[in-house]
Structure 1
């Protein structure tokens, strides 16, 4: 999470939304500083720094989950930045922990296709951490229109236009993510992605197979489970951070 006291903004670094390069740029050129942890969520800010939560311009991003899930698959398959093969010294810092490493191993050992991985390992209705305290955001940008949305952000906080670097590209995948969705994956995508895509204005391709959409119970149960998982991840990350040193304030 990045905060600027000069320009009175908070940048919530939602995973997979271009937040790594953007966060670095905001620190280096726009008076930002790191606060809490990189992927801290907005409810943490509300608890730790209520004045900043109340008074600053808050921005975070979303990404088409159809694209995001393909990117996640290829990061697992290609061992993105050595995250999943155990090359990191501190394995507890690996996103998702043991389950994620297991997915990485199975994808390689069984040569799982995207469709196999998607249906087997992504069973719950999809939610993104942007949904936590969503009503408090002043701006929610889209990964797909990042350049234009950053120009709007620049105007909102009164700075020169923010020109973005490109970083954290995923190896091994085509830019057209729709080609990885066979009929089975298309049906599964409608089942788990529909609530999020409806909420943030994303559309399924017109020629995709139809599928069952989740009901109220499945949707809200999945959100409750995901929120509990996010809180648990935060607790673990905070304990790890305390062992390494004080969190940024």
Structure 2
């Protein structure tokens, strides 16, 4: 997550949505008064002990709200990037087993393991995208604008225009090599992901084939 007082925005870093590429570009625009929490590639912490103790940068907008204050939270542009949950779940499985070739050899078995057999409920990368972006009611989005991984550069350019900073081509950071996500699914896996990430599909307008 990034809180920029210089440019008056809050970037909520949803896992597995290209957040490190966005962070890298945004850092070029940040001033000394700006704050970031991140735990991969570089290590930065917010100045608030409770949040710093979380040890990763995928914080929810609800978590940061009391620390920046209601006035700033209401006034600052709050944004995030989201991704088709079917694609994101494949990316999650490949990432979790990136140090070996198990996912490449048995992708559906791996997907069934995480989805049905031993779902890592408390792992922030496994949780829904909406969980980081909704209000206390669990339904209302707190974001002012949402970019999409499927149109990453265009989304980033539009956000930069709204913020009032220069854009630039985004780097590819922390990616995994794999096939089109649709090739990994059977009907049981489609139904399982649709059920688990139903809120993401509804809020962000995705279906198995892409945007609805």
* TM-score computed with the length of structure 1 as normaliser: 0.62
Partner residue in 1 for 2:183 = 179
Give the greater-gyration-radius structure (CA): 1
Cα shift readout 1:67-100 (whole Å, capped 9, x = no counterpart) = 11111111122239xxxxxxxxxxxxxxxxxxxx
How do 1:91-170 residues align onto structure 2 when only pairs under 5 Å count? Answer: 113-117=109-113, 118-122=115-119, 127-128=128-129, 129-133=131-135, 134-170=140-176
Deviation at 1:160, TM superposition (A): 1.8
Deviation at 1:123, TM superposition (A): 9.2
Cα shift readout 1:166-205 (whole Å, capped 9, x = no counterpart) = 101124x22x001110232123233323332122110123
Unpaired runs of 5+ in structure 1? 81-105, 207-249
Query: If each structure's helix is expressed as a fraction of its own residues, which one has the higher value?
Result: 1
**Which of 64, 75, 78 is matched with 2:95 structurally?**
75
Q: Is contact 1:21–1:166 with CA below 8 Å preserved after alignment?
A: yes
> What is the distance in 1 between the residues matched to 2:5 and 2:61?
17
Q: Is contact 1:115–1:182 with CA below 8 Å preserved after alignment?
A: no
> What is the distance in 1 between the residues matched to 2:86 and 2:153?
20
Deviation at 1:16, TM superposition (A): 0.9
Cα shift readout 1:107-161 (whole Å, capped 9, x = no counterpart) = 89x997234323323498x732334335331111111111111111111011222
Q: Is contact 2:14–2:58 with CA below 8 Å preserved after alignment?
A: yes
Could you say what secondary structure the match of 1:66 adopts? helix
* TM-score computed with the length of structure 2 as normaliser: 0.71
